[in-house]
Each structure stands twice: as structure tokens, then as C-alpha cells.
Amino acid sequence: MPEQDDGLNKQQVLIIGAGNAGLCAGIAALQAGAISVAILDSAPRDLRGGNSALTKSMRFSWDDRAFIATLLRDPGQYGLDTILAGRPVYTDAQYFDDWLGVSGDQVDTALIKSITRRSHGTTAWMRAFGQRWVPRPDPLPGDVPVVFEGGGQGLQARNFAEFERLGGTVHYDSTVTDIERLSGDRFLVRGTGGTFPVVCDALVLASGGFEGDPRARERHLGGQWRDVKLRGVPFNNGAPLEAAVALGADTAGNWRKCHATPQGIGLPDYVLPRQMHESHLLTRYAFPLGIVVNREGRRFFDESAGYSNLTYVSLGQKIMEQPGRIAFQIFDGKVLEAGALPLGYLGDPAALTVRSLEEGAERLGIDAVRLRDEVDRLNKAGGDPVSPVADVSVRTPKRLESPPFLFVPVVSGLTFTYGGLSVTTDAQVRGGGKPIEGLYAAGVIVGGLYDEGYPAGTGLMAGAVLGRAAGTAAAGHAARTGGN
């Protein structure tokens, strides 16, 4: 076992994973006075950033519209009334209700409540260390009105810059395979790459879920998920999660479920951090404006059950249960004429604009008779015509009648897995129901945050809140137990 007192092999605080959660932990640990803080990451430097680099927005609460202005680099440039249209405040209580409204039963409500309560303060903390936002260019009702400047790539560039400015080090091409608990509440971390082994006084696990490992997906989620396409990076192999469980960490949440959403059928097998723009164009979340059918021509999902940023995961999960694991979103001429569909839909080479439902069905291999029945039933139900405005279409029955029709084939893309570690609100990993001294977890590796659906923007927020808590607590633990 290495016991060098200097250099890489001995760290006060060691973090596995340089996503948003790991970098927030690193920044908080350095701010709290930790002397040596290092992050190990599987990715090479030019592919750094994790799934966090592919994101866009983070959901936080605010009870004062002036707060939104503080997040913008040049608030005078924008009209706050326009940015906040329809949502002047978003309270902790609304946030908590939105989260629980879609999440199912197998969640840790105390943990979720503590995250929603700390979302405002943590967002202000991120602003203070350099994060910046811009108004959301394509707001859907129910969305947070601002997104990260430069999207997830901008978020991560600023996170890395601050972590390194404070003196933290990131070691790339360093894949963790195994963790051992040593006496004195320290940890030994093994892996592949020149970095290993490393001993640390406090360890933060922030390596995402097991979404990148086909065998783990098959084991926990079921056979149909083995060959699913990933919306994110291929590096999140779940090894640190498994290693933590092997050393006695408690698990939490629903290990049989995951976050998956409708995507264009051009989605590759996985996406790299530098492909953020391509990735954003592949999302297919305008379904409340139309209908979604399977190959049998049947609807299998209530497209108008809620804002798409609350229901999109339920649709992604259901697509995996349909024949051929494919579905078709169909929009009518009024929606097309109104220009209501995002750019990605219009540029999708697999999308078809046709004069009739029958033509679209025939060309895409959908049962045309059943599709016609389904649409006739819908139109007879006497609903309002499909509205080109998403908030009007929500919770109203719809009609689909004016040609031309746009048919958009969609598949499910896996974003991340839900099962993970049990943590306290201070991000301490539990073992046998009690906190394991010196071991912390943040981000997607934490279980108990989601079960069925997922409210958009909460992944980054949970990672930031728990990352900050983990880094602060890890620095305190390292200082108490001796440090280097």
C-alpha cells in the first residue's frame, strides 16, 4: 500500500468523477480549507465533462424576481417581465410538489425536501464562484426561465476553471475499479491508469450511475435495456457504485428504473461531451402538441397529461415497452403552420411530411387502419384542435385533422439510472443505517431521488446541493482525522 506523504498517492480529499457534482464537491472542499484535493476521472482530458457537459438547465426556487437578474451577466440587456412571463416566483413548496408529483413512491422525501430548500442558496453560491445564466431561448411553460450560459459545456468549463484556480487537480484516464476502507476512517482507491493506488482521508463518490455498463443495465433494468442507446457519455460504468456497496454502503431508490426520454432515431450509441449541440437537437419533447402512436397505430401515453418537462421520462420509459421499441410523434398542419416545433424536428432526416395519415402510416410501417380509428376516435371526442401553444394544449383533449401531417419516428435514449447509494442530507453515505465516517456521495450515484418520472433540471441541482455538502463535510472530516 502506498504511503507517500506527498504527491498524488496521498490526498486529504479525493473525489471520483469530474461531473458537476464532483467539481462542486471539489470547489466546496477547497473553500472549506482542504489542503490537497484531487479528482480522478476515466475520461481523457479532451473528453472531460461527463453527462453534465451535455445539459442545459438547472431547476431552483426563487421567491423574488430580482434574484433572476442577479444570475445574468448583463441583466439590463433583458426585460425581466418577458423572461419571467407566467412564473414570477417558484417557491420551495412548488418545487417540492412538482418533484413528488412525478416521482413515484420509492424516493427519500426528506432528502428531496432538503435539496429543494437548498436549491436557491446553492444557485447563489454557484453564481458567486463564477456561474452565469442567460434567458432560456425556447421556453416551455413550467420551465425555469434561465439556462446556463454556453449550456452544460459552459457550466463545466466554469466549474473546472474555479476548481483549478483554487488549487485542485484533475487526473484523467484514471478509472476507479475498487475501494478499500482502512483504519482511521481512511480509504484506499485502486484502478487502471498511472495514478493508482491512492490513499485519502475523505472520499467523495461522484461517478454517475451504471448507465454505461450494458451488463449492469441488463441485470438491474431488464434485458431490453442492454442494447439501449445512451444520451450521455460511455464512461459511467458504475464501478465506484459497486465498490461502495461491496464495502458495506446501503443502497436506495428504484434500481429497476432509469431516466429515458424520446429522441430522434439518429441518436448514436453514446454521446461525447463535445457533442452538446448535436445532442440538444436530438430531443423530441414537443409531443403535447401532437399524438404519439406505436407501430400498431395505437396511442399508449397521455400526451397532454402535463408539461413535457415533467412527463417526458414517462414517455421515454413507455417507448421501451412498444413493439420494436419505436414510436411515432404526429403533428398536424396547424402546428406546422404556427412554427411551433423546435429546430431539431424540422431538420430530422427521418421525419416525413405527408398529405394523409394513411400515407405516413404506410411509409413508416404503422398499421394504417388502426391509426385512422385512433385519430377518428380522438377527433370525435370533440376536443379542441391541437393548439400550437404548449400550455393551452396541456390537459385538453386534442384533434388531429388538418394536413399536411408530420410523422417523426422516435426511440428511447437512456440518460441515467435511478438506483444508487443511501445518503444523509449532508451527503454522508450510510452503511447499516448509519453514516460511514469519511465517505460521501453526490450526483447520480445517489439513490432515492427518482422512481417513475423526473422533473427536468433536478439532476444538476441535486448534484450541486449534495456536492457542495459533501465537499464541505469531507474537508472537515479530513482536518479532524489528521490530514496531510
CA distance readout (Å), 273 to 2, 23, 96, 118, 462? 33, 16, 30, 28, 20
Q: Give 275 or 481: the residue with its C-beta nearer to ligand FAD.
A: 275
55 near ligand FAD, judged by CB under 6 A: yes
CA distance readout (Å), 76 to 124, 128, 149, 464? 19, 19, 16, 28
Site for ligand FAD in 339-378 (CB under 6 A): none
C-alpha cell at 34: 482542504
Q: Give 18 or 199: the residue with its C-beta nearer to ligand FAD.
A: 18
116 near ligand FAD, judged by CB under 6 A: no
Helix (H) or strand (E) holding 344: helix 343-346
Residue from 220, 263, 218 nearest 412 by CA = 263
Give me the least distance between CB of 99 and ligand FAD, in Å please.
Answer: 12
Give me the least distance between CB of 76 and ligand FAD, in Å please.
Answer: 27
- Among residues 8, 13, 21, 441, the one that binds ligand FAD under rule CB under 6 A: 21
204 near ligand FAD, judged by CB under 6 A: no
26 near ligand FAD, judged by CB under 6 A: no
Residues 249, 254: Cα–Cα separation, whole Å: 16
C-alpha cell at 260: 429515458
22 near ligand FAD, judged by CB under 6 A: yes
294 near ligand FAD, judged by CB under 6 A: no
Residues 310, 323: Cα–Cα separation, whole Å: 25
- How many residues touch ligand FAD under the rule CB under 6 A: the total is 41
41 near ligand FAD, judged by CB under 6 A: yes
C-alpha cell at 236: 459511467
Site for ligand FAD in 233-262 (CB under 6 A): 235-237, 239-240
13 near ligand FAD, judged by CB under 6 A: no
Residue from 25, 18, 1, 8 nearest 423 by CA = 25
Residues 291, 472: Cα–Cα separation, whole Å: 47
DSSP type of residue 429: E
Q: Give 206 or 475: the residue with its C-beta nearer to ligand FAD.
A: 206
- Among residues 457, 464, 468, 475, the one that binds ligand FAD under rule CB under 6 A: 457
| Interface ranges with ligand FAD (CB under 6 A) | 16-22, 40-43, 50-52, 54-58, 175-176, 206-208, 231-232, 235-237, 239-240, 279, 415-416, 443-444, 457-460, 463
